Amino acid sequence: MAANQQEVHVEDLQIGDGDGDDLVTPWDVQGSSAKGVDYDKLIKRFGSQKVDDVIVKRIEQVTGKPAHHFLRRGIFFSHRDMHLILNMYEKKQPFYLYTGRGPSSDSMHMGHLIPFLFTKWLQETFDVPLVIQLTDDEKFLWKDLTLEEANRLAYENAKDIIAVGFDVNKTFIFSDMDYIGSCPEFYKNMCRVEKLVTFNQVKGIFGFGDSDCIGKISFPAIQAAPSFSSSFPHIFNRKTNIPCLIPCAIDQDPYFRMTRDVAPRMGCHKPALLHSTFFPALQGAQSKMSASDPNSSIFLTDTNKQIKDKINKYAFSGGGTTVDEHREKGGNCDIDVSYQYLTFFLEDDEKLEKIRMDYSSGELLTGFLKKELIGILQDLVSKHRDRRAQVTDDVVKQFMTPRKLKYDY
Ligand code: TYM
């Protein structure tokens, strides 16, 4: 069956909070069991495809490079139309990457890093342009922030994103507030999307109610617009038909289910997607790491001491309540937050597998996992902090100036 045929129609895209369903929306994630979200079930409910061995092998085969451990370990677990992107790449036809961030806090947290780290790998592996949308308008509409403050946070977050290591010759970062007014082509795409989606549909997809402001109701068109290459005339030389691939966590999928529904009616390609699982909250996999709860999160600006204290104090343990019980029954990696974090950041497959076996058998105690994790995260965050300190206002300006990138179209 062709990938698109399995797709759920936009009329059916209700937010899932029915009996036994995990709640996954762009604003809220709540798993119904201690293991967190049931991702296989989510794939069925959302009508996407599993990132299976076939697709991982194919990515390795067409790029000639080993797959990123996020792919090998099922962290990027779901996709839409990835085979079409790989077909294009094989035929040397162009595509581009699109991802984003809603700037609601001065610093991003470890969870936000996941799509950006993976996007960097995709950019390096496929050598393609990347556009990054900073939705300061979204955060103005949803949070208690002034326009000016949301815009300031966009520029602060741009520093975190640049510090991930993107190539300035291949990357355009933009704030909605600053870019949209300067680009009629972007605004035209917003209007096209706005005309094709009814109020009833956005209510069904996003759960908007009668007392939500009208800004929220039309916002999805703004997140949809960068999926179309014509929104970036300076990059794509006014070409309207260059497909895009969107890496993000699965909470953003409602926006792109809507976009995929309208794209053919706009004469455009549907955006392809690669979805990640959620980096869990320190308190457990039932909810995602979220900036609105500082105790659930490790921020990219946290000091080594803060990282150590937060993990020791809050990271939910899957170990036994006493050492004797733990030695006898072993630890449960499925719910142990430190182990879950190691699957994201400990790249050595053999070492990770040994930790899994020794923790499950009861030989290793929770304290060992926490110590291992604290060392890895302190190293990662302090290197990130150093790179961020090098990002001057001038560098931010370079990334955020509309311009041609190194590619010709
Ligand atoms: P935002 O700022 O909520 O999140 C930014 C990116 O991080 C992902 N994410 C996570 N990934 C793993 N674990 C977590 N705990 C976690 N929390 C957040 C999000 O899925 C996202 O990829 N509306 C968007 C901004 C946006 C965007 C986009 C995102 C605009 N265009 C295109 C992705 C793709 C937002 O508020 O993201």
- The CATH number that applies at residue 342 is 1.10.240.10
CATH number, residue 238: 3.40.50.620
Q: What is the rounded CA–CA span in Å between residue 226 and residue 121?
A: 20
Mark whether 120 and 258 lie in a shared domain.
Answer: yes
Mutate to test the pocket of ligand 1, among 251, 257, 275, 276 (most ligand atoms within 8 A of CB): 251
Residues 123 and 157 in one domain: yes
127 contacts 80 by C-beta, under 8 angstroms: no
| 275 C-alpha to ligand 1 centroid (Å) | 11
Whether residues 156 and 44 share a domain: the answer is yes
Q: Both 273 and 321 in a single domain?
A: no
Tell whether the model's pLDDT for residue 295 goes beyond 90. no
Please tell me whether residues 224 and 320 are part of one structural domain: no
- Tokens 């030389």, residue located: 237
- What's the mean per-residue pLDDT of the chain? 92
**Same domain, yes or no: 317 and 204:** no
The pTM for the full model equals 0.94
Same domain, 339 and 218: no
Q: How far is the CA of 106 from the centre of ligand 1 (A)?
A: 15
What integer pLDDT is reported at residue 369 of this predicted model? 94
Residue 398 has pLDDT above 90, yes or no: yes
Q: Which of 14-23, 143-152, 159-168, 193-202 has the lowest mean pLDDT?
A: 14-23
As given in the structure block, the two tokens for residue 157 are 């977050």
Residue 394 lies in a domain: no
Please report the atom of ligand 1 found closest to the CA of residue 246.
Answer: 34
Residue 116 burial by CB count (10 A; 0-12/13-18/19+): exposed, middle or buried?
Answer: buried
Domain of 370? 304-389
pLDDT band at 7 (very low <50, low <70, confident <90, very high): very low
Is 228 within the bounds of a domain?
yes
Instruction: Let me know: does 311 contact 369? Beta carbons within 8 Å.
Output: no
Q: What share of the chain is helix, strand, coil (3-state, %, to 5)?
A: 55, 10, 35
Atom of ligand 1 nearest to the CA of 279: 13
Q: Is residue 133 part of a domain?
A: yes
Strand-strand pairing, 272-276 and 76-80 = antiparallel
Q: Average the pLDDT over 218-233 and give the result.
A: 98
Residue 403 lies in a domain: no
Domain shared by 126 and 91, yes or no? yes
Is 367 within the bounds of a domain? yes
Q: Are residues 340 and 278 part of one domain?
A: no
At residue 285, the pLDDT reads 80
Whether residues 317 and 276 fall in one domain: no
pLDDT band at 338 (very low <50, low <70, confident <90, very high): very high
Q: Which two tokens stand for residue 126?
A: 């496929």
Q: What is the pLDDT of residues 152-177, one digit of tens each?
A: 999 999 999 999 999 999 999 999 99
Q: Whose CA is nearest to atom 35 of ligand 1?
A: 102
Question: Which pLDDT does position 24 carry in this prediction?
Answer: 86
**What are 40-70's pLDDT values in tens digits?**
999 999 999 999 999 999 999 999 999 999 9
Nearest alpha carbon, ligand 1 atom 4: 101
Measured between alpha carbons, how far is 270 from 367 in angstroms, rounded to an integer?
47
Q: Ligand 1 center to residue 64 CA distance, Å?
A: 29
Q: Bridge partners of 79?
A: 49, 274
341 versus 4: the higher-pLDDT residue is: 341
Claim to verify: residue 363 and residue 224 sit in the same structural domain: no
Residues with CB under 6 Å of ligand 1 are 26, 98-102, 111-112, 114-115, 133, 135, 138, 223, 246, 248-249, 251-252, 276, 278-279, 288-289
Q: How confident is the model at residue 20 (pLDDT cuts 50, 70, 90)?
A: low
| Domain boundary pick from 249, 283, 317 | 283
From 252, 287, 288, mutation site for ligand 1 pocket: most ligand atoms within 8 A of C-beta = 252
Position 291 in a domain = no
Compute the distance from residue 112 Cα to the ligand 1 centre, in Å.
Answer: 6
pLDDT mean over 67-87: 97
Question: Measured in angstroms, how far is the CA atom of residue 328 from the centroid of ligand 1?
Answer: 41
The reply to whether 217 falls in a domain is yes
Q: Indicate whether 237 and 322 sit together in one domain.
A: no
- Give a yes or no: residue 247 inside a domain: yes
Percent of the chain with pLDDT over 70: 95
Domain stops at, among 226, 250, 283: 283
Give nearest CA residue, ligand 1 atom 29: 100
pLDDT over 90 (residue 181) = yes
* CA-wise closest residue to 283 among 330, 331, 335: 335
Q: How many domains does the chain have?
A: 2
Contact criterion met (CB below 8 Å) for 33 and 39 = no
Q: Which atom of ligand 1 is least distant from the CA of 226?
A: 31
- Tell me the CA–centroid distance for residue 160 and ligand 1, in Å: 14
Compute the distance from residue 252 Cα to the ligand 1 centre, in Å. Answer: 6
The pLDDT of residue 104 is above 50 = yes
Q: Which pLDDT band holds residue 103 (cuts at 50, 70, 90)?
A: very high
In total, the chain counts a number of residues equal to 409
- pLDDT band at residue 236, thresholds of 50, 70 and 90? very high
